Amino acid sequence: VQLVESGGGSVQAGDSLRLPCAASGSTLSINLIGWHRQAPGERREAVAFITRAGNTNYADSGKGRFTISRDNAKNTIYLQMNSLKPEDTAVYSCYGWVRPTEDSWGQGTQVTVSS
């Protein structure tokens, strides 16, 4: 499975961004797909995930502001981020999990939120 993110950029606090992650390869084998982020000097953290069945899960930091969705026809998931805050500044990476011994990461996309 290959994952390619896009949609990052520099915005002002309160703005919105939508991050697409396009999957290719054995996409039907993906059981869980979503987003992590890592800010400078910080640990990587899970942001939002969606399962094959369509169940979603969000980190507390994004609840009420972030929404993960998918377009199966395009093999693409989206992270809609609203009311962005400076603390949302990070590299956002798409992650796909197939099984314990098989997962994939995208190259990451930078999101910078200025106050």
pLDDT at 28: 82
pLDDT at 26: 84
> Cβ neighbours of residue 40 under 8 Å, at least 6 residues apart?
none
pLDDT at 36: 97
pLDDT at 5: 94
pLDDT at 14: 98
Contact between 68 and 50 under an 8 Å Cβ cutoff? The reply is yes
pLDDT at 109: 97
Residues of the chain with pLDDT under 70: none
